């Protein structure tokens, strides 16, 4: 029985959705298998825990913490406290360090220990190398826009951006 044109278009849409879901699963599942850690915000701070042993690996008390994310090597967690962006080495007794005090969006590179962030002001997109243990901020996009929803697709850094007149388009 031959598929008519509508059935073929529907089948193509379903395949596109399935391929997208497979990609998401491939990106998420390995992180949990290799690191076996979880970072979560609580009412009074942040906890980084080993899922197998239940052991607390690092914690921060106080603040308005949200959006914790692991570096690709699992050695750091970066999180927001209000608009401030902090890094934390995943090690008992580690103290958080300030990356920037006015961040809207951030993400990690797929390799290494670089975090990319976009300030809430029209300043572009910056990178911060956690592995160097000191500030190595580099502007990687021109100023004049506010980038949002930073994410990597493979090695490609993607963002949505607002121009000063609040027009939204993809970068």
Other Cβ atoms less than 10 A from the Cβ of 88: the count is: 21
Mean pLDDT of the chain: 76
The answer to the question of residue 14 being in a domain is no
The answer to the question of residue 29 being in a domain is no
Assign 4 a pLDDT band (cuts: 50, 70, 90): low
Q: What percent of the chain has pLDDT over 70?
A: 68
Region 6-34: mean pLDDT is: 60
| Strand 138-139 versus strand 126-129 pairing type | antiparallel
Region 111-131: mean pLDDT is: 81
The answer to the question of residue 79 being in a domain is yes
Say yes or no to pLDDT of 168 above 60.
no
The residues facing 119 across adjacent strands are 103
Distance CA 127, CA 108 (A): 9
Say yes or no to pLDDT of 86 above 90.
yes
The answer to the question of residue 146 being in a domain is yes
Distance CA 51, CA 32 (A): 9
Assign 169 a pLDDT band (cuts: 50, 70, 90): very low
Domain count of the chain? 1
Q: Kindly report the CATH number assigned to the domain that includes residue 62.
A: 2.120.10.30
The residue with greater pLDDT, 32 or 46, is 46
The answer to the question of residue 3 being in a domain is no
Q: What is the pLDDT of residues 28-41, one digit of tens each?
A: 444 434 458 888 88
Distance CA 171, CA 27 (A): 22
Containing structural domain, residue 84: 35-170
The answer to the question of residue 22 being in a domain is no
The answer to the question of residue 13 being in a domain is no
The answer to the question of residue 30 being in a domain is no
- Strands annotated E in 2-155: 37-42, 45-50, 56-61, 65-70, 76-81, 84-89, 97-100, 103-108, 114-119, 126-129, 138-139, 145-153
pLDDT on residue 122: 67
pTM over 0.85: no
């Amino acid at each position: 029985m031959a598929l008519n044109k509508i059935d073929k278009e529907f089948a193509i849409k379903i395949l596109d959705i399935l391929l997208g879901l497979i990609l998401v699963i491939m990106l998420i599942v390995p992180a949990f298998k290799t690191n076996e850690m979880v970072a979560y915000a609580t009412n009074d701070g942040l906890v980084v825990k080993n899922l197998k042993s239940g052991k607390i690996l690092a914690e921060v008390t106080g603040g308005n913490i949200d959006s914790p994310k692991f570096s690709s090597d699992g050695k750091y967690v970066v999180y927001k406290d209000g608009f401030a962006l902090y890094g934390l080495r995943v090690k008992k007794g580690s103290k958080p360090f300030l990356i920037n005090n006015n961040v809207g969006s951030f993400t990690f590179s797929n390799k290494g220990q670089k975090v990319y962030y976009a300030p809430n002001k029209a300043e572009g997109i910056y990178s911060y190398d956690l592995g160097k243990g000191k500030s190595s901020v580099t502007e990687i996009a021109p100023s004049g826009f506010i980038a949002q929803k930073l994410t990597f697709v493979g090695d490609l850094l993607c963002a949505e951006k607002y121009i000063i007149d609040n027009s939204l388009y993809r970068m």
